[in-house]
């Protein structure tokens, strides 16, 4: 990783240590009193017996911004990392099929709360406030094993409460129902993760629930747009945030989708990509959750405009993206890109050129690490009718 990334990490960690020098007793204690955004977390370590618990900052008030990615537009990497570091994670080890019992039911109430919820946690021993920040994993605040947890009474989101009590509804139908009711994706993911949705309920590690939710919603939107007319020109959308540059190319073609990522590691350029046609993808994407997060963002646009198109998304990950903060930033980055005024191109080739011109990587390099051209050359069944 370049020295730029290391400098950014050092700076953020140094400022966090300054915070600890003033308020360290709040982050290293055998108890905490604060207002959860509301937030719950399910780990994947030691699956199928996982660490589960609430995330609570050592402050009271409106803390909703601390765990609401949909509202982080314009925030700096440092601000977002600090949101994460300020949340103290309480944990208990729970089997994934244990979705009932007082502790889990309390967390389910937290997840469906319509507003931040006052919380008091006590731990078996003091939480450790020494945090490590690297370029590989998302940052987390202090962690403590819960001895007891109390939460104030709260008001539940009615649409979530209704789905929670409907145990005949399949998980994917529950997710789509909540999405179509206007519930934020980050909140749906928490409810799915804490075992609140579906017929055969279980705890789902947060990381997996995020990707599964994006995948389920994007599949539904994809089925919908296959009935729409093709776009009539090539359009290119751009957006940049948190050291991520996105170029989205829409072109007249039945649904095909490719996402190509490029990143810098020790000065060497690395690439990853994956793609699908109208039948969807039949394997875990090489670029993991970013694939579905970006797909969802662009399909929301096509669904809203009632159009169908082929899609190529280029993502250049600059050294300034020194600390990964989660695939939410891909979804929200693409959503923002699709709100910008597009550039119109007279051909697919020119569209890709314009998309590449916004980045430090040439069109030929992007194309050599993807397969969109060969996908476009393959005849589809509809070409014969």
Q: Within a domain: residue 285?
A: yes
pLDDT at 3: 54
CB atoms within 10 A of CB 363: 18
**Could you write out the DSSP letters of every residue in 5-29?**
HHHHHHHHHHHHHHHHHHHHHHHSS
Residues 143 and 254 in one domain: no
Q: Of 157, 186, 211, which residue is a domain's last?
A: 157
Percent of the chain with pLDDT over 70: 97
- Residue 383's pLDDT is 47
Q: What is this structure's pTM?
A: 0.94
Percent over 90 (pLDDT), the chain = 88
Q: Is residue 200 part of a domain?
A: no
pLDDT digits (tens, 9 = 90+) for 226-259: 999 999 999 999 999 999 999 999 999 999 999 9
Residues 358 and 260 in one domain: yes
| Shared domain check, 146 and 17 | yes
Last residue of a domain, one of 157, 191, 221: 157
User: How far is it, in rounded angstroms, from Cα 332 to Cα 73?
Assistant: 8
Is residue 105 over pLDDT 70? yes
Same domain, 116 and 248: no
Query: Does 253 map to a domain?
Result: yes
In a domain, 150, yes or no: yes
In a domain, 226, yes or no: no
Domain match, 150 and 269 both: no
Tokens matching residue 314: 């280029």
Q: Is the pLDDT of residue 1 over 50?
A: no
Q: pLDDT per residue over 16-39, tens digit each?
A: 889 888 888 889 899 999 999 999
pLDDT digits (tens, 9 = 90+) for 144-185: 999 999 999 999 999 999 999 999 999 999 999 999 999 999
Q: Are residues 371 and 257 in the same domain?
A: yes
pLDDT at 381 over 60: no
Mean pLDDT of the chain: 94
Whether pLDDT at 380 is above 60 = no
Cis, peptide link before residue 48, omega less than 30° from 0? yes
- One domain for residues 9 and 141: yes
Q: Please report whether residue 209 resides in a domain.
A: no
Predicted pLDDT of residue 207: 94
What confidence tens digit (pLDDT) does each residue in 151-162 have?
999 999 999 999
- Whether 152 and 265 share a structural domain: no
Widest CA span in the chain: 72
Please check whether residues 244 and 344 belong to one and the same domain: yes
Q: Is residue 82 part of a domain?
A: yes
User: pLDDT class for 136, splitting at 50, 70, 90?
Assistant: confident
**39 closest CA partner among 195, 187, 210:** 187
The pLDDT of residue 382 is above 70: no
pLDDT of residue 318: 95
Read off the pLDDT of residues 289-328 as tens digits, 9 standing for 90 and up. 999 999 999 999 999 999 999 999 999 999 999 999 999 9
Model pLDDT, residue 384: 37
Q: Identify whether residues 252 and 377 lie together within a single domain.
A: yes
Number of domains in the chain: 2
Q: Is the bond preceding residue 38 a cis peptide, omega within 30 degrees?
A: yes
Rounded to 5 degrees, φ, ψ at 228 are -90, 160
Q: How confident is the model at residue 134 (pLDDT cuts 50, 70, 90)?
A: confident
**Chain CA centroid to CA 185, Å:** 9
Range of lowest pLDDT (71-75, 209-213, 285-289, 381-385): 381-385
| Domain boundary residue, one of 131, 157, 183 | 157
Q: Are residues 347 and 260 in the same domain?
A: yes
pLDDT tier at 385, thresholds 50, 70, 90: very low
Nearest residue to 53 via CA among 161, 141, 155? 141
135 with 39, same domain? yes
Are the C-beta atoms of 125 and 144 separated by less than 8 Å?
yes
- CA torsion 28-33-34-37 (nearest 10°) is 90
| Structural domain boundaries enclosing 294 | 234-384
DSSP state, 203? -
Low-confidence winner among 62-66, 250-254, 362-366, 371-375 (lowest mean pLDDT) = 371-375
C-alpha separations of 380 from 189, 254, 258, 368, 385 in Å: 35, 9, 17, 23, 10
- Asked whether residue 193 is domain-assigned, the answer is no
**Is beta strand 257-265 parallel, antiparallel or unpaired with respect to 310-317?**
parallel
């Amino acid at each position: 990783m370049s020295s730029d990334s290391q400098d950014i990490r050092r700076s953020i960690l140094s400022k966090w240590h300054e915070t600890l020098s003033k308020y360290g007793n709040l982050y290293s204690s055998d108890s905490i009193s604060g207002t959860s955004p509301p937030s719950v977390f399910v780990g994947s370590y030691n699956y199928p017996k996982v660490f589960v618990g609430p995330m609570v900052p050592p402050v009271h008030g409106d803390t909703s911004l601390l765990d609401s990615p949909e509202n982080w537009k314009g925030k700096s990497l440092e601000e977002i990392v600090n949101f994460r570091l300020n949340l103290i994670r309480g944990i208990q080890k729970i089997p994934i099929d244990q979705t009932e019992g007082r502790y889990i039911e309390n967390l389910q109430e937290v997840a469906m709360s319509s507003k931040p919820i006052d919380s008091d946690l006590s731990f078996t021993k003091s939480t450790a406030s020494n945090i490590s920040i690297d370029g590989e994993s998302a940052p987390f605040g202090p962690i403590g094993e819960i001895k007891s947890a109390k939460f104030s009474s709260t008001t539940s989101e009615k649409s979530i409460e209704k789905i929670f009590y409907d145990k005949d509804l399949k998980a994917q139908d529950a997710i789509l129902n909540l999405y179509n009711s206007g519930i934020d994706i980050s909140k749906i993911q928490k409810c799915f993760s804490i075992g609140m949705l579906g017929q055969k309920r279980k705890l789902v590690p947060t990381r997996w629930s995020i990707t599964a939710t994006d995948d389920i919603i994007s599949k539904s939107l994809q089925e919908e747009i296959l009935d729409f007319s093709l776009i009539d020109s090539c359009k290119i959308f751009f957006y940049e945030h948190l050291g991520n540059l996105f170029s989205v190319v829409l072109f007249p073609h039945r649904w095909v989708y490719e996402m190509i990522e490029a990143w810098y590691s020790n000065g060497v350029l690395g690439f990853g990509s994956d793609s699908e046609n109208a039948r969807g993808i039949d394997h875990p994407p090489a670029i993991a959750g970013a694939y579905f997060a970006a797909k969802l963002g662009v399909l929301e646009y096509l669904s809203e405009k009632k159009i169908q198109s082929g899609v190529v998304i280029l993502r250049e990950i600059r050294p300034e993206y020194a600390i990964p903060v989660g695939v939410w930033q891909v979804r929200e980055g693409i959503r923002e890109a699709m709100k910008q005024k597009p550039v119109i191109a007279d051909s697919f080739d020119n569209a890709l050129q314009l998309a590449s011109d916004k980045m430090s990587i040439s069109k030929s390099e992007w194309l050599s690490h993807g397969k969109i051209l060969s996908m476009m050359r393959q005849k589809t069944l509809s070409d014969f009718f």
